[in-house]
């Protein structure tokens, strides 16, 4: 590939742009490894907006909940990393429970960052998909037998009973065949980010979270072209030996050398609000209802995932059957997909692809009919960066000394918040003859461009 530069020395300035999970985890791991001059910048004032979409945050990380699972089919590297991440999530929960300085402002030691209520992957077919059978086999091989429980298998249902998972094995109105990953569950995304941010701060990471002081306008380059810092909207210059771009859905348009390797796409999210007095609060509580996925890789007529209700009565269902793009011509003349995260207030409720609502309603009408009479309370397009092979990109940018990217979560990175800052994923390109997992950069020629999509 290319020669990697030597790592910076422990006192060198390191700037991380973006305080979503990639930036947070990177900051924490650098500080824990003894880097003493780490600065985290974001234009969102997360210490007051608290990673809430309802408070104006629009990063994918700023969310109410995300799925945690270790079942990864044949991708045993991710399986291993997830099992390790779950241990780290447990440790974070414990750290919070212990109270004291680890508790972020506005949170308490009674809060939890993740709930081990399981992730149930279901199908309407009568045999398990290859992915699920592989997960069962590979978890067993790794020493995690009896963690993947098939919901129509008597022996597994007995195990579910022993493990306290019974109530969640068949949570739908009509039976759907599936596998419960009992190592999984949900991360309470916003709280987890608040905890991580507070942890970074306690570890001595300098924070600039502000629409001016944290808003990076450009990088600064030395006469030889090395990136040596950034300029922010308040006119300040921050010098650094290394600048790390962790800007989520905005990353591909900021780092053009990602062309062909990563692209931002939208997931479609709907949220129902369950009234406090409704018995559905209990029905969909995490004790009774797991994280779930329905035919997640099966194309535009499927690709759903969902969550239990949160403490405010919000119940979220997402659609990834089509990964929408928003191609726009960039200053260099190249079309790149960029996030549109919000419309004006009165439009907001209806700006979601009609296809997403159709597939969600088709599913809820049959399998969660309790939701059929409820209006959708909020919709959101959640912008992720996908890579062509659905794997992350955490590496130096070739040909651009002083610059790294941490990106391409591809919709499955949040669960690694506690650990991903310790890892790298090599820069690469699609090999000749290799079929991409995600087809990238179809631009305005592609059917997934939002401008061609009918919205509701
Ligand atoms: C991940 O794999 C390594 C190497 O095989 C192993 O030592 C480690 O225990 C595994 N971690 C988990 C959590 O299974």
Per-residue model confidence (pLDDT) at position 2: 62
- Alpha-carbon gap, residue 186 to 68, rounded angstroms: 5
Largest CA distance in the chain: 69
CA–CA distances in Å: residue 126 to residues 121, 198, 369: 13, 47, 22
Decide whether 14-113+188-260+389-444 matches 119-187+263-387+446-452 in CATH topology. Answer: no
Q: Which atom of ligand 1 is nearest to the CA of 84?
A: 13
Q: Which atom of ligand 1 is nearest to the CA of 86?
A: 13
Question: What does the DSSP assignment read for 167-213?
Answer: GGSS-SSS--EEEEETT-EEE-HHHHHHHHHHHHHHTT-EEEESTTT
Is the CATH code 3.30.9.10 the one for domain 119-187+263-387+446-452?
yes
Which residue ranges of the chain lie beneath pLDDT 50? Answer: none
Ligand 1 centre to CA of 76 (Å) is: 10
Ligand 1 centre to CA of 80 (Å) is: 6
In CATH terms, 14-113+188-260+389-444 corresponds, of 3.30.1230.10, 3.40.50.300, 3.40.50.80, 3.50.50.60, to 3.50.50.60
- Alpha-carbon gap, residue 427 to 5, rounded angstroms: 14
Going by C-beta distance under 8 Å and a sequence separation of 6 or more, which residues neighbour residue 418?
A: 25, 85, 88, 89, 91, 92, 196
Ligand 1: which of 79, 84, 88, 91 to mutate, judged by most atoms within 8 Å of the beta carbon?
A: 84
Ligand 1 centre to CA of 115 (Å) is: 22
- Alpha-carbon gap, residue 114 to 233, rounded angstroms: 36
Which residue owns the Cα nearest ligand 1 atom 2? 80
At what angle are helices 76-97 and 189-202 packed, to 10 degrees?
Answer: 70
Instruction: Answer yes or no: pTM beyond 0.85.
Output: yes
**Burial of 257: CB neighbours in 10 Å, binned 0-12, 13-18, 19+:** middle
Instruction: Choose among 120, 448, 393: nearest CA to 268.
Output: 448
With a Cβ cut-off of 6 Å, ligand 1 is lined by 80, 83-84, 142
Which residue owns the Cα nearest ligand 1 atom 1? 80
Ligand 1: which of 72, 78, 80, 89 to mutate, judged by most atoms within 8 Å of the beta carbon?
A: 80
Which residue owns the Cα nearest ligand 1 atom 14? 80
- Alpha-carbon gap, residue 326 to 450, rounded angstroms: 6
Domain ranges for the chain: 14-113+188-260+389-444, 119-187+263-387+446-452
Per-residue model confidence (pLDDT) at position 345: 64
Instruction: Judge contact between 322 and 301, C-beta under 8 A.
Output: no
Per-residue model confidence (pLDDT) at position 351: 86
Instruction: Judge contact between 394 and 425, C-beta under 8 A.
Output: yes
Alpha-carbon Rg for the chain, nearest whole angstrom, is 22
């Amino acid at each position: 590939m290319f020669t990697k530069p030597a790592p910076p020395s422990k006192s060198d300035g390191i700037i991380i742009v973006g305080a979503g999970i990639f930036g947070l985890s990177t900051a924490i791991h650098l500080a824990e490894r003894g880097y003493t001059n780490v600065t985290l910048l974001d234009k969102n004032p997360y210490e007051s907006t608290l990673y809430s979409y309802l408070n104006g945050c629009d990063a994918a990380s700023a969310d109410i909940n995300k799925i945690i699972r270790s079942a990864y089919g044949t991708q045993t590297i991710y399986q291993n990393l997830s099992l390790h991440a779950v241990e780290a999530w447990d440790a974070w929960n414990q750290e919070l429970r212990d109270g004291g300085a680890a508790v972020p402002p506005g949170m308490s030691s009674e809060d939890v960052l993740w709930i081990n209520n399981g992730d149930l992957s279901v199908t309407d077919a009568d045999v398990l998909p290859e992915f699920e059978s592989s997960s069962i086999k590979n978890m067993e091989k790794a020493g995690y037998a009896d963690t993947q429980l098939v919901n129509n298998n008597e022996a597994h249902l007995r195990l579910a009973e022993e493990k306290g998972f019974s109530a969640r094995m068949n949570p739908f109105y009509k039976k759907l065949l599936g596998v419960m990953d009992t190592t999984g569950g949900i991360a309470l995304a916003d709280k987890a980010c608040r905890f991580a941010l507070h942890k970074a701060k306690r570890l001595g990471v300098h924070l600039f979270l502000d629409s001016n002081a944290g808003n990076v306008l450009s990088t600064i380059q030395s006469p030889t072209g090395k990136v040596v810092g950034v300029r922010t909207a308040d006119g300040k210059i921050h010098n650094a030996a290394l600048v790390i771009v962790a800007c989520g859905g905005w990353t591909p348009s900021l780092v053009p050398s990602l062309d062909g390797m990563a692209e931002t796409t939208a997931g479609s999210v709907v949220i129902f609000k369950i009234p406090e007095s409704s018995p559905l609060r209990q029905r969909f509580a995490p004790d009774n209802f797991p994280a779930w996925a329905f035919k997640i890789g099966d194309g535009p007529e499927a690709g759903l995932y969902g969550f239990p209700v949160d403490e405010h009565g919000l119940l979220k269902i997402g659609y990834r059957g089509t990964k929408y793009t928003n191609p726009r011509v960039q200053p260099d003349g190249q079309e790149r997909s960029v996030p549109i995260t919000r419309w004006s207030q009165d439009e907001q409720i209806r700006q979601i692809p009609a296809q997403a609502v159709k597939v969600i309603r088709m599913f809820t009408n049959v399998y969660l009919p309790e939701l059929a009479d409820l209006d959708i309370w909020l919709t959101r397009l959640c912008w992720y960066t996908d890579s062509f092979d659905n794997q992350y990109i955490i590496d130096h940018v070739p040909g651009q000394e002083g610059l790294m990217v941490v990106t391409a979560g591809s919709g499955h990175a949040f669960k690694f918040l506690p650990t991903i800052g310790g890892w790298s994923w090599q820069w690469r390109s699609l090999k000749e003859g290799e079929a991409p997992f995600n087809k990238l950069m179809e631009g305005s020629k592609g059917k997934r461009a939002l401008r061609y999509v009918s919205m509701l």
